[in-house]
Structure 1
Amino acid sequence: MRIYKILRADEWAALEAAGQTPGAPIDVADGYIHFSTAEQVVETAAKHFAGTEGLVLAALESDALGDALKWEPSRGGALFPHLYGPLRLSDILWHRSLPVRDGAHVFPEGL
């Protein structure tokens, strides 16, 4: 299953430079890296990144992350993917910018 991580521009740049990251400050504070499914990612962007320019959407294959990926209840009791370990650049299948248009992020077609 494809899962998605939204990163700020500086977080993406740091990931590219280092090859891995412990995540955003909220990820580090929570002890795991937050991901969303295709069904969850638009709401995640609206709730946590409203109006933020310069975001990057990264896609990963959940099965490739092995036992470090746990599905845990979060918003509204829905299960969200959480990675207990670093996010490695080599695990990312593709990435795209998330521009803001009319106050909302524009996601790639076909998520």
Structure 2
Amino acid sequence: MIYQIALPEDWAQAQFTGTYTVSTRGVGLEQEGFLHASDTLAQIEGVRQRYYADRDDLLLLVIDETRLDVPVVRESPAGSAELYPHIYGPLKLTAVAEVRPLT
């Protein structure tokens, strides 16, 4: 399983369109080229603190990689040696095994 933070309004839009295309807060797949994700909950916490600290209504998307029909590549962001999964395409809702509040 891999994880991604979602804003409730972005997840609601995905329910309407059938795919999730938000890479990170305010940045879409078409701009970034991939969707940012995390392998561990520790990585999620770091992302939450960096990009979403002002929000307390976040959702955690639990993504089953075996259900994806687009590539996932683990890459290091600039200035980091840590690997993060990058999803190279839209996230189909059927690949999301669980959506839960991120507390």
CA distance, structure 1, for counterparts of residue 69 and residue 94 of structure 2 = 14
Separation of aligned partners in 1, 2:91 and 2:70 = 14
Unaligned runs of at least 5 residues, structure 1? 99-105, 107-111
- Quickly say closer, same or farther: Cα 1:67–1:17, change in 2 above 3 A: closer
- Which protein shows a greater Rg? 1
1:50 is paired with a residue whose SS is: coil
> Shift in Å at residue 61 of structure 1?
2.1
**TM-score normalised by L of structure 1:** 0.78
- Misfit runs of 4+, over 6 Å: none
Answer with 60-69 or 73-82: which moved more: 60-69
Summarize deviations over 1:30-62 as a string: whole Å, max 9, x none. 110000122311111111110213211010123
CA distance in 2: counterparts of 1:17 and 1:84, whole angstroms: 21
How many residue pairs are counted as aligned between the two chains?
A: 98
Q: How much does 1:21 deviate?
A: 2.5
92, 99, 105: which is aligned to 2:96?
92
- Displacement of 1:84: 0.7
User: For residue 61 of structure 1, what is the aligned residue in structure 2?
Assistant: 64
24-33 or 77-86, which deviates more: 24-33
1:80 has 2:79 as partner: no
The CA RMSD over aligned residues, in Å, is 1.7
**Identity over aligned pairs, percent:** 26
